[in-house]
Amino acid sequence: MSPSEFVQQLVNSMSLGSIYALLALGLSMVYGVLGMLNFAYGELVTITGYSMLAATYFGAPFIVVALVGVIAAGLSSVLMELVAFRPLRNASFVSLLFTSFAVAQLIQGAFRQAVSVRSRGIPVPELFDEAVRLGPVRISLLSIITASVGAISLVALTTFMRRSRSGLAMRAASQDFTTARLLGVRANRVISLAFLISGLLAGIAGVLWIARTTSVNPTTGFVPVIQAFIASVIGGLGNLRGAVLGGFFLGTLEVFLQATLPGSLLPYAQAASLLIVVAILYVRPQGLFGQRVEAV
């Protein structure tokens, strides 16, 4: 691989890693506060796509279409918590897990019945197809935009979590929810805020994902949420910084495997990346950046 190709693939890996990092962060945020894995999280990406599709029917510019998708994902996430998860807040981990699966199936079924099982195209600006040349390096403009939007979103969230009162309350709840409640942190408010932020992150990631795929179908969110879950496990479940680093690690791993594997092995690139992840977790079951939990 030449130096110019390496730079190109590095930018591509940062682009894909940004999407994984945003989704992994949203998953880890809810897990850290509520102790649950929300496998209906991928459906927020699907909701983003269909909301964008609906907005295009009214001839809205792409920036408005993107905002509609992000807002729809955030509101849907809060509604999901209010209707499906709040009544089961004191239920077991397994009960919440199966509930999230049920919610995912309901949303997928609703889109199949209301729209179609087939993919629907979503127009994106022609600007995304252009590339920027830096000497011998040719970088896709969409990759640059995706990496930039992902970085800005992560910086904004970090600032919010560290500087705002609500962010500090969420960090305290993720460390010890019971103690945080005793100190005056309102449980419903913190949990709703965690779902809102995770939904907005899913919406931003969904817009970036749709910009890459230019289509949406009822299972659009399946692959992103699986990759986000893997990234969260790599970083250590509940570890927000680890989720971000895990997302970039997984994105880099996928891109460079696609770029370096022989053509005959390209269909197995996904399996190869998962094997590497399994090997890492075999050595560090708590994840690369997680805390080791002592057996009771």
- State how far the Cα of 255 lies from the Cα of 18, in Å rounded to an integer: 13
Burial 96-120 (b: 16+ CB within 10 A, else e): beebbeebbeebbeebeeeeeeeee
Q: Which residues neighbour 182 within 8 Å (Cβ) at sequence distance 6 or greater?
A: none
CB 193 within 8 A of CB 105: no
CATH fold for domain 3-283: ABC transporter involved in vitamin B12 uptake, BtuC (1.10.3470)
Q: Which residues neighbour 279 within 8 Å (Cβ) at sequence distance 6 or greater?
A: none
Collapsed DSSP state (helix, strand, coil) of residue 120: strand
Amino acid at 276: I
Q: Which residues neighbour 86 within 8 Å (Cβ) at sequence distance 6 or greater?
A: 188, 191
> Among the ranges 139-148, 154-163, 197-206, 228-237, which has the highest mean pLDDT value?
197-206
Radius of gyration of the chain from its Cα atoms, rounded to whole angstroms: 19
Q: Which residues neighbour 188 within 8 Å (Cβ) at sequence distance 6 or greater?
A: 86
Q: Where are the domains of the chain?
A: 3-283
CA dihedral (135, 141, 142, 144) positive or negative: positive
Joined tokens for residue 47: 């909701």
State mean pLDDT over 171-197: 70
Q: Residue 137 pairs with which residues in a beta bridge?
A: 134
Window from 170-174, 227-231, 245-249, 258-262 with minimum mean pLDDT: 170-174
Q: Does the pLDDT at position 186 exceed 80?
A: no
pLDDT 10s digits, 203-219? 999 999 999 888 999 99
Q: What is the structure's pLDDT at 54?
A: 92
